Amino acid sequence: MKTRLPSPEYPAFLAELKERILGARITAARAINREMILLYWDLGRRIVETQQAQGWGESVIDRLSSDLQQMFPRTSGYSPRNLRYMKSFYLFYADESIWQQPVAKFAEKEATSPMWRQAVAKFRTEGSVTELLRDLVTEIPWGQNLLVLDKFSDPAACLYYIQATAQFGWSRNVLLNQIKAGAYERAVLEKKTHNFHIALPEYLGEQVDEAMKSRYNLEFLGIHREVKERELEDRLVERMQRFILELGYGFCFVGRQYRLTLGRKWSSH
């Protein structure tokens, strides 16, 4: 029996369902991440409050870790080290004395997502710095939160990297490279002028603006200093040519700045 071919509308139908499934996965992942960060925040808060109330020392964290791991043997995240991170995480963001001014400046800027807008609106209404910060840190994974916590004590820098990570979806490695390249310092000190916000859609303008602030690690090309564009091109083409030739049969390197004709137009690639 022959299977009847779908109608011409089927590819669009399938694409619609695929987009819906992917959207649901992303929404679910964000919801799970938010709940996990809120859990870690609450665990850190309870550890701090109970230690202060009972006069317990740091050894209680080791005991707590052992008991929690016995209760939840298939759940990671309750090591002594991670519990201490939860404590430090809460203590850092709950210290309103160091966050008032940076958060006030942050609230003046355009929020980059619905959740951030809600958090800022709540802050403006209720004035709770700690609640705003708690909402903001739930937008990025725990690994990225720890990286920011380890690298910075400056609240303004922390806010910048949390916002950028949430906005651009930086992985932990990308975030680390941005920190090494001094993205925050350049964003503050090197105010580059452009018309991206006028010439491009908002989301593209923001990405291009961020790209202008980025410095790239080109050590894999043997470059450890500033170079001219021509030299950078030479190094890239050399590495690409070597790689293609190593692939062997079925691959070839045609040439650089190769002329392609498309209709009545041509361009070099």
Strand-pair partners of 262: 265
Query: For residues 81 and 83, what is the distance between their CA atoms, to the nearest angstrom?
Result: 5
Contact present, 244 and 253 (Cβ < 8 Å): yes
Highest mean pLDDT among 29-33, 145-149, 236-240: 145-149
At a CB cut-off of 8 Å and minimum separation 6, what does 29 contact?
A: none
Global pTM?
0.66
Tell me the pLDDT tens digit for each residue of 52-83.
Answer: 999 999 999 999 999 999 999 888 889 999 99
Q: Burial level of 37, CB count in 10 A (0-12/13-18/19+)?
A: buried
At what angle are helices 129-137 and 96-108 packed, to 10 degrees? 70
Of 55, 52, 54, 75, nearest to 65 by C-alpha is 75
Residue-wise pLDDT tens digits, 177-201: 999 988 888 877 665 555 555 555 5
